[in-house]
Amino acid sequence: MEVAPGIHRVGTETVVNAYLVVEAGEVTVVDAAISGLYRELPRELAAMGRTIEDVRALILTHGHSDHIGFAERLRTDRGVPVMVHEADAALARGEVPNPSKGLGPTKISPLVRFLWFSAIRGGLRTRHVGEVSSFGDGATLDVPGSPRVILTPGHTPGSAVLHFASQGALLIGDAFATYAVTTGASGPRVAPFTADADEAVGSLARIEDIDADVVLPGHGDPWRGGVAEAVRLVRTTASHPSR
Ligand SMILES: [Zn+2]
Protein backbone atom coordinates (compact mmCIF):
# COMPACT_ATOMS: atom_id res chain seq x y z
CA MET A 1 0.00 0.00 0.00
CA GLU A 2 1.05 3.59 -0.57
CA VAL A 3 2.48 5.07 2.63
CA ALA A 4 3.85 8.32 1.19
CA PRO A 5 3.91 9.92 -2.27
CA GLY A 6 6.11 7.58 -4.32
CA ILE A 7 6.59 5.05 -1.53
CA HIS A 8 4.76 1.75 -1.06
CA ARG A 9 5.05 -0.83 1.67
CA VAL A 10 5.04 -4.46 0.53
CA GLY A 11 2.19 -6.53 1.92
CA THR A 12 -0.71 -5.66 4.14
CA GLU A 13 0.76 -6.25 7.59
CA THR A 14 3.31 -4.13 9.43
CA VAL A 15 5.02 -6.82 11.49
CA VAL A 16 8.05 -6.84 9.17
CA ASN A 17 8.30 -4.11 6.54
CA ALA A 18 9.89 -3.73 3.12
CA TYR A 19 9.45 -0.54 1.09
CA LEU A 20 9.49 0.42 -2.58
CA VAL A 21 10.53 3.95 -3.56
CA VAL A 22 9.84 5.08 -7.11
CA GLU A 23 11.47 7.99 -8.88
CA ALA A 24 11.22 8.69 -12.61
CA GLY A 25 9.81 5.21 -13.21
CA GLU A 26 12.66 3.40 -11.44
CA VAL A 27 12.47 1.66 -8.11
CA THR A 28 14.68 1.26 -5.05
CA VAL A 29 13.72 -1.47 -2.60
CA VAL A 30 14.52 -0.71 1.05
CA ASP A 31 14.88 -3.86 3.14
CA ALA A 32 13.87 -7.35 2.06
CA ALA A 33 11.88 -8.44 5.12
CA ILE A 34 11.10 -12.16 5.08
CA SER A 35 11.85 -14.28 2.02
CA GLY A 36 8.20 -15.18 1.37
CA LEU A 37 7.30 -11.53 0.86
CA TYR A 38 9.01 -11.90 -2.53
CA ARG A 39 5.77 -13.23 -3.98
CA GLU A 40 3.97 -10.02 -3.01
CA LEU A 41 6.46 -7.82 -4.88
CA PRO A 42 4.86 -8.04 -8.36
CA ARG A 43 1.45 -6.97 -7.08
CA GLU A 44 2.85 -4.06 -5.09
CA LEU A 45 4.99 -2.95 -8.05
CA ALA A 46 1.91 -3.19 -10.29
CA ALA A 47 0.02 -0.93 -7.87
CA MET A 48 2.75 1.65 -8.59
CA GLY A 49 2.48 1.07 -12.33
CA ARG A 50 5.87 -0.67 -12.33
CA THR A 51 7.27 -4.18 -12.75
CA ILE A 52 10.22 -6.09 -11.34
CA GLU A 53 12.21 -4.93 -14.40
CA ASP A 54 12.11 -1.40 -12.97
CA VAL A 55 13.91 -2.34 -9.73
CA ARG A 56 17.43 -0.86 -9.76
CA ALA A 57 18.75 -1.49 -6.26
CA LEU A 58 18.04 -3.02 -2.85
CA ILE A 59 19.31 -1.08 0.15
CA LEU A 60 19.47 -2.87 3.50
CA THR A 61 19.14 -0.66 6.57
CA HIS A 62 21.11 -3.31 8.45
CA GLY A 63 22.16 -6.94 8.28
CA HIS A 64 19.53 -8.73 10.40
CA SER A 65 17.85 -11.80 8.93
CA ASP A 66 14.35 -10.26 9.10
CA HIS A 67 15.60 -7.52 6.76
CA ILE A 68 17.64 -9.51 4.25
CA GLY A 69 14.71 -11.94 3.54
CA PHE A 70 14.41 -12.01 -0.25
CA ALA A 71 17.63 -10.06 -0.94
CA GLU A 72 19.61 -13.00 -2.29
CA ARG A 73 16.73 -14.08 -4.53
CA LEU A 74 16.32 -10.57 -5.97
CA ARG A 75 20.08 -10.40 -6.53
CA THR A 76 20.50 -13.80 -8.18
CA ASP A 77 17.19 -13.94 -10.13
CA ARG A 78 17.14 -10.32 -11.25
CA GLY A 79 20.70 -9.07 -10.95
CA VAL A 80 19.64 -6.33 -8.54
CA PRO A 81 22.63 -5.03 -6.57
CA VAL A 82 22.34 -5.23 -2.77
CA MET A 83 23.87 -2.48 -0.63
CA VAL A 84 24.43 -2.16 3.11
CA HIS A 85 26.56 -0.02 5.42
CA GLU A 86 30.12 -1.31 5.51
CA ALA A 87 29.88 -2.11 9.26
CA ASP A 88 27.04 -4.59 8.59
CA ALA A 89 28.34 -6.15 5.35
CA ALA A 90 29.77 -9.22 7.09
CA LEU A 91 26.51 -9.70 9.03
CA ALA A 92 24.48 -9.58 5.79
CA ARG A 93 26.82 -12.16 4.25
CA GLY A 94 26.38 -14.39 7.30
CA GLU A 95 30.06 -14.26 8.22
CA VAL A 96 29.58 -13.02 11.80
CA PRO A 97 26.94 -13.86 14.41
CA ASN A 98 24.05 -11.54 15.22
CA PRO A 99 25.40 -9.02 17.79
CA SER A 100 22.06 -8.78 19.63
CA LYS A 101 22.14 -10.43 23.01
CA GLY A 102 18.66 -11.83 23.41
CA LEU A 103 15.02 -10.99 23.28
CA GLY A 104 14.69 -8.52 26.15
CA PRO A 105 11.22 -8.38 27.68
CA THR A 106 8.64 -10.49 25.87
CA LYS A 107 4.95 -11.20 25.84
CA ILE A 108 3.93 -14.51 24.41
CA SER A 109 1.16 -13.60 21.99
CA PRO A 110 2.91 -10.83 20.00
CA LEU A 111 6.11 -12.87 19.95
CA VAL A 112 4.22 -15.87 18.57
CA ARG A 113 2.60 -13.57 15.99
CA PHE A 114 6.03 -12.39 14.84
CA LEU A 115 7.48 -15.89 14.73
CA TRP A 116 4.41 -17.23 12.93
CA PHE A 117 4.38 -14.29 10.48
CA SER A 118 8.03 -15.06 9.74
CA ALA A 119 7.70 -18.84 9.62
CA ILE A 120 4.83 -19.00 7.12
CA ARG A 121 6.75 -16.60 4.87
CA GLY A 122 9.90 -18.64 4.90
CA GLY A 123 11.72 -16.71 7.61
CA LEU A 124 13.35 -19.92 8.78
CA ARG A 125 14.96 -20.40 5.38
CA THR A 126 16.55 -16.97 4.93
CA ARG A 127 19.59 -17.10 2.69
CA HIS A 128 22.46 -14.78 3.42
CA VAL A 129 23.51 -12.39 0.69
CA GLY A 130 26.31 -13.74 -1.49
CA GLU A 131 27.57 -10.37 -2.58
CA VAL A 132 26.90 -6.92 -1.12
CA SER A 133 28.34 -3.55 -1.95
CA SER A 134 28.77 -1.22 0.96
CA PHE A 135 28.44 2.48 1.67
CA GLY A 136 29.63 4.82 4.39
CA ASP A 137 28.07 7.41 6.66
CA GLY A 138 26.98 10.59 4.87
CA ALA A 139 26.93 9.03 1.41
CA THR A 140 24.24 10.00 -1.09
CA LEU A 141 23.43 6.80 -2.93
CA ASP A 142 23.22 6.76 -6.71
CA VAL A 143 19.93 4.84 -6.81
CA PRO A 144 16.33 5.94 -7.50
CA GLY A 145 15.31 8.46 -4.82
CA SER A 146 18.97 9.37 -4.07
CA PRO A 147 18.78 8.69 -0.32
CA ARG A 148 21.34 10.17 2.04
CA VAL A 149 22.83 7.78 4.60
CA ILE A 150 22.97 8.61 8.31
CA LEU A 151 24.78 5.98 10.38
CA THR A 152 22.90 5.24 13.63
CA PRO A 153 24.82 2.42 15.35
CA GLY A 154 23.36 0.57 18.32
CA HIS A 155 20.75 -1.81 16.96
CA THR A 156 23.63 -3.21 14.94
CA PRO A 157 27.03 -1.54 14.31
CA GLY A 158 26.05 -0.70 10.72
CA SER A 159 22.42 0.35 11.20
CA ALA A 160 21.73 3.15 8.75
CA VAL A 161 18.86 5.58 8.33
CA LEU A 162 17.99 6.62 4.77
CA HIS A 163 16.67 10.13 4.11
CA PHE A 164 14.68 10.38 0.89
CA ALA A 165 14.36 14.17 0.91
CA SER A 166 12.29 14.48 -2.32
CA GLN A 167 9.73 12.07 -0.87
CA GLY A 168 9.80 13.73 2.57
CA ALA A 169 10.50 10.32 4.08
CA LEU A 170 12.94 8.94 6.62
CA LEU A 171 13.39 5.17 6.35
CA ILE A 172 14.86 4.14 9.66
CA GLY A 173 15.08 0.35 9.60
CA ASP A 174 15.36 -0.64 13.26
CA ALA A 175 17.07 2.56 14.48
CA PHE A 176 13.83 2.58 16.45
CA ALA A 177 10.51 0.79 15.95
CA THR A 178 6.86 1.86 16.18
CA TYR A 179 5.84 -1.70 17.07
CA ALA A 180 7.71 -4.10 19.33
CA VAL A 181 7.40 -7.57 17.82
CA THR A 182 8.36 -9.12 21.17
CA THR A 183 5.80 -7.34 23.38
CA GLY A 184 3.16 -5.89 21.04
CA ALA A 185 3.73 -2.38 22.41
CA SER A 186 3.22 0.38 19.85
CA GLY A 187 4.61 3.88 19.46
CA PRO A 188 8.23 4.95 18.95
CA ARG A 189 10.57 2.83 21.09
CA VAL A 190 13.91 1.02 21.03
CA ALA A 191 13.56 -1.91 18.63
CA PRO A 192 13.69 -5.47 19.96
CA PHE A 193 16.92 -7.39 19.25
CA THR A 194 18.98 -4.21 19.70
CA ALA A 195 22.63 -5.02 20.47
CA ASP A 196 23.36 -1.85 22.47
CA ALA A 197 20.25 0.09 23.53
CA ASP A 198 22.18 3.04 25.06
CA GLU A 199 24.16 3.47 21.87
CA ALA A 200 20.99 3.18 19.78
CA VAL A 201 19.25 5.92 21.78
CA GLY A 202 22.38 8.09 21.63
CA SER A 203 22.54 7.71 17.85
CA LEU A 204 19.11 9.30 17.47
CA ALA A 205 20.69 12.72 18.07
CA ARG A 206 22.05 12.29 14.54
CA ILE A 207 18.54 12.27 13.01
CA GLU A 208 16.33 14.30 15.36
CA ASP A 209 16.76 17.58 13.46
CA ILE A 210 15.77 16.09 10.12
CA ASP A 211 12.54 17.45 8.70
CA ALA A 212 10.45 14.59 7.28
CA ASP A 213 6.71 14.16 6.73
CA VAL A 214 6.82 10.47 7.48
CA VAL A 215 9.08 8.06 9.34
CA LEU A 216 8.94 4.50 7.99
CA PRO A 217 10.23 1.83 10.37
CA GLY A 218 11.21 -1.80 9.83
CA HIS A 219 8.50 -2.88 12.25
CA GLY A 220 5.23 -1.04 12.80
CA ASP A 221 3.11 1.65 11.23
CA PRO A 222 4.32 4.86 9.61
CA TRP A 223 4.92 7.72 12.05
CA ARG A 224 3.71 11.14 10.92
CA GLY A 225 4.24 13.14 14.10
CA GLY A 226 7.68 14.49 13.23
CA VAL A 227 11.15 13.06 13.74
CA ALA A 228 11.96 15.15 16.83
CA GLU A 229 8.79 14.01 18.63
CA ALA A 230 9.47 10.37 17.76
CA VAL A 231 13.01 10.64 19.14
CA ARG A 232 11.66 12.28 22.31
CA LEU A 233 9.27 9.36 22.79
CA VAL A 234 12.00 6.77 22.24
CA ARG A 235 14.11 8.48 24.92
CA THR A 236 11.14 8.57 27.31
CA THR A 237 10.23 4.91 26.87
CA ALA A 238 13.91 3.89 27.10
CA SER A 239 14.26 5.53 30.51
CA HIS A 240 10.89 4.15 31.70
CA PRO A 241 10.88 0.62 30.24
CA SER A 242 7.46 -0.23 31.69
CA ARG A 243 5.69 2.25 29.36
ZN1 LIG B 1 16.93 -5.59 13.22
Per-residue pLDDT of the chain (243 residues; tens, 9 = 90+): 999 999 999 988 889 999 999 999 999 999 999 999 999 999 999 999 999 999 999 999 999 999 999 999 999 999 999 999 999 999 999 999 888 876 677 788 888 888 888 887 877 677 899 999 999 999 999 999 999 999 999 999 999 999 999 999 999 999 999 999 888 989 999 999 999 999 999 999 999 999 999 999 999 999 999 999 999 999 999 987 655
Q: What is the distance between the alpha carbons of residues 40 and 164, in angstroms, rounded to a whole number?
A: 23
CB atoms within 10 A of CB 240: 8
Distance (Å, whole) CA 154 – CA 204: 10
pTM for the structure as a whole: 0.94
Report how far ligand 1's centroid is from the alpha carbon of 51 (Å): 28
Q: How far is the CA of 203 from the centre of ligand 1 (A)?
A: 15
CA of 49 to the centre of ligand 1 (A): 30
Instruction: Say how many Å lie between the CA of residue 59 and the centre of ligand 1.
Output: 14
Residues with CB under 5 A from ligand 1 (ion): 64, 174
Q: CA torsion angle for 153, 199, 223, 11 (degrees, to 10)? A: 50
Alpha-helical regions (H) of the chain: 41-47, 65-68, 71-78, 89-92, 108-120, 197-203, 227-239
Please tell me the distance between residue 67's alpha carbon and the centre of ligand 1 in angstroms: 7
